[in-house]
Structure 1
């Protein structure tokens, strides 16, 4: 009985991809988990994922049940019906997950539009009442393009910008405006700001509008600061007084000034006055906030447990106290009395830079590396080679006849060159050892080439011998283009060509003479007609004539027709024709079915009666 293997891979793969794309809330950073709760309702999100996990479990169980039933299928039809029933139950389970899947798709689309916030990066967090200038500041210090409008709640979600300070990357987060009312009365837009303030380790920039153009009084802004101040714990905080181009801190009334001073005098709160309209104080605020956050991060690391583990591995050597005498650092009087270098002092110490400026500047002046040599005689500094080296006089090693010997050697070389000693193409060696080493190297190289060629030529296309060769005209044109005279090379090539032509002509004449001798011997036995040349006979003794049978036949009958391998063993043409007819007759049935050969798979019964007869509806038995 033929078995049908069934798996639920298609459903499992889709559900696994969905569940992997939506992670567990417990595995996320607290800020991201709280943001998910604010935006999408944590309970609804968990319920949707739980329903999908239950659906995957049910699909696995259905697959196991029907695979167990397939083992008892007594026909292919029953197995197919079991498979169809299993797929139907799985599709029903998936159809019930329509609402959770629609909700998760909306969550996925919204998450894809959220900015990428790194909870562990260096962060500047901007907060405050609506329309106090938060978005204007982030547009000034980063490349973010946040919409700025003269009405409240223009910013409805978190926006992120990035800046570089002291060769480090910083992220600036612009939060929506917050109103001063209880936490349970805040909407989703305000809760995003509260979530960022509660969970992100950052430097908080609380913006205030002293001109009250935002629509909220200074008293209300101060109350908001005190109400959300618990969220600023263990974070550097800056009070940013914006729009000073309209109203400064000094222009406030005594009542409002007292409220602002109460915040300024709070512990750990810095204050900066800025104007995003005129850019006054913007760079100062950025530098001050970054420095405050960096200092706070360093202090936190020093106070933590990590620094203790490092200090336990550090050891600073201290001098052992021999007595109770205090030994202070000693600085020589010469160092104390040394005059400080002054560029304007004409009697200052001359530096190499001063000498460079006096002698033509960079590119003209060349530093003298020998002027600081410490030698017994200062005059030796400029010598090319010192006269005395290693306690020996170099002059003692100079041969007085060196020039005469050099001239004699040059005359000998000229004589050898004139006699043609260097014209031979053989390599010349100075010693027998060098010649043997070169021979061994060449022999080893040829052996390696022969071994590699046997392996490499298996998969290499054969090339003609003329591939890569250059003609004499190409060679001469290249030499002329390089400015050389190729006349001697042309003359030598022509001489070599003449010698080779004469050699080939001699060989051809000797071959013709030998063939004439052979023909003369056979003519003496066969008759005089073999000695005579017939006028009009175009076939020469060595010319090949193509026969009708496909083989080449010599003019004198030396070579016969090539045999047909398909007709080998046949008595005559009639027997060969009969064999071909019988072969075609045997192939006729196979050709009718368009088969390439006898090895093609044959389906003996194309329509089994139990599968193609009677009613084949669901729930009906087949009629036999």
Structure 2
């Protein structure tokens, strides 16, 4: 093990300081024996003269002798109460033989620490006993108490996990993309096979559920508007009219033919004037929204985003302002007494 190495100059200074201090203590002890009234302050009626030449100097006197306040500081090592007074001015290293010196200053430190730990355990036991006595009796039995405790623990765990997930610095996956398959390694949880597998494990029949999902994905096929309009244009009254206007030979009369032609022309004219049919809007769940209220809010934000600003000045708005006001900067001014007219 490595021993402590103290320089020779430090040892010499330490020995010199110890010798000087011992000489001062011996002289003080000799003066105390020679003086009869040491320890008594002189009073007004006391006619004896006290020799103050060898009196102990106060800290204030030492301070003014050694440079005044801010320069001299008292050496508190003189007040150390050690087994050997010669140890007071020894240099104390922080680490010796690989160990911290501060841990071994008090030889009874381990015993005191053990006593403190025992006291702490005793206090904790007393507090727990007091809490058990103050506990109000519950109406639940032991099984119900266990269930309630399990529910509380689960809620606590869920709350903690939610807090951890919210504080995580990661992008939020959109609802439209969430759960869909990305590649062969990540099939996703919203595919038909995954949903069927999960519901079968719960014992739920997924036939109608998957069929409804397929119909919603395909959507309703758009019928021909023209065919619908043709069917609507042909009414039973027209058929009766045609039947009444036929001749005995089974041929239509000239008036019936003209009326049919006129009806066809009117139908074509109506078709051209009718507005174009609109496609069926998607449901909110397919758009990644919750309900119709969310759809209206999204549409409103979209309108506000498309709205152009009006009334704002641009690069072409030139302003010609007066930089120097004429009435403030023309004419004579007297000897600096006025800063303007």
TM-score by length of 2: 0.25
* TM-score for both structures, normalised by structure 1: 0.16
Kindly indicate which of the two structures has a greater share of residues assigned to strand. 1
